[in-house]
Structure 1
């Protein structure tokens, strides 16, 4: 969920509902976040070191992430099952809707599943576990080469 200064209450409520229904056990879900308006009924951690964060991703069956570019790319590089839930301005989850723009781009370019309405979380989790998105392609080398040509 990130370490934003904004709560992600609607996603925590949706995940808590899955625990209450008995679909998942509290230890089945691990969330990294630092701000809570509502207490998660599942495992939650604050800011953790990168290697520990990457270990959680590696071990996960599915990663549900906000539309943070680093989180998305970290999952894609490991080809992890992935579901993006962008933070929405209308719920005061962020300062604007840039996460919606990022999510739409990833959905269009890489065919990643995006969830806007958390009332559909349960079915989207099942879909995301089987869904195949386009493989991540880094453009870092071509960007460096373009910069090198400009400088030299």
Structure 2
């Protein structure tokens, strides 16, 4: 049987991408590690300080957004973070090759991946467990990041 142009890709669109529970793909990574190679993302969401942005932004040659999100903490503007996480999920659902990254690729990136899993239909507790199984065993590093994921269903309903 031939695949139609509307069929989702059979494999990950980016090296290292994981399939969310709703079937779309996202790559989570750390900016301090070498780029995984392969095709460039269609879009990216990057989490960090101005310093991290200055260090890495020139090397990102695709459409991207940056959130001011300090290491081990929470985004400085939660409403902006929710908008960007929802937009990234919408792009992934539309078939775009997307990635999310912070410095190390574990805490902040894992928190966003867990939120994407919530948008994919998992309850928050399952989303944390799922992210640790599929992305990184130490993902969502702090108690406040876990609380943020647990409150995300209420946050993501914001206009």
Shorter-chain TM-score: which interval?
A: 0.3 to 0.5
TM-score (normalised: structure 2): 0.33
State the TM-score, normalizing by the size of structure 1.
0.34
Structure showing greater radius of gyration is 1
